[in-house]
Amino acid sequence: MTKFEELNQIYTNAENDFKEYRWNCLNFVIQLGKGLAEYLECDYDEIRYYRPPDKDNKSMEAHPRDALLIDIDTSWHYGMGVNLYVEGNIDNPAMAYIFDLALKKDDKNFGLRFTKEKKEFTLDPKDPTSFIPVYDLIYNLIKNRFEQELEKFLTNKSSEHFPEYG
């Protein structure tokens, strides 16, 4: 083997290693989403994936393989959302509650960071019970966001509002 052929082999191995790493992370993201659907007792179709916010802070819905973008911090960044409905209108989601995530795999586990909430978790893909604190956080984030939203908004304790009201 020539030195040039050796370099090409090394490059090929590096490409394959990166593709395998990405594939493992993608499969984990899907496992996390399916587990969230099970935890929330809803169809997996109610879980959405988004590309990270752009310069205008807009997130675009995407297939998980297109939602994951690696950043300079060497983490995969993506958004995950849960469709929410106004009671009685199950055919038309009123909104998707989206949270921004950063994911990184070490030897056996995955590190998952909620970027806005500054919460981090270490998850074992072979132990679904390790995901429960993540699912609890997601549930509570959504619940707390809307339970007292109007009161918080009217007392200037929150600048967020329901988008359909402008």
Residue 166: pLDDT above 60?
no
The pair of structure tokens assigned to 21 is 């790493």
Q: Which of the four pLDDT bands, split at 50, 70 and 90, describes residue 18? A: very high
**What confidence tens digit (pLDDT) does each residue in 89-148 have?**
777 878 889 999 999 999 899 999 999 889 999 999 999 999 999 999 999 999 988 887
**What confidence tens digit (pLDDT) does each residue in 49-105 have?**
999 988 888 889 999 999 999 999 999 999 999 999 988 777 787 888 999 999 999
Exposed/middle/buried for residue 155 (C-beta within 10 Å: 0-12, 13-18, 19+): exposed
Is 73 in contact with 66 (CB distance < 8 Å)?
no
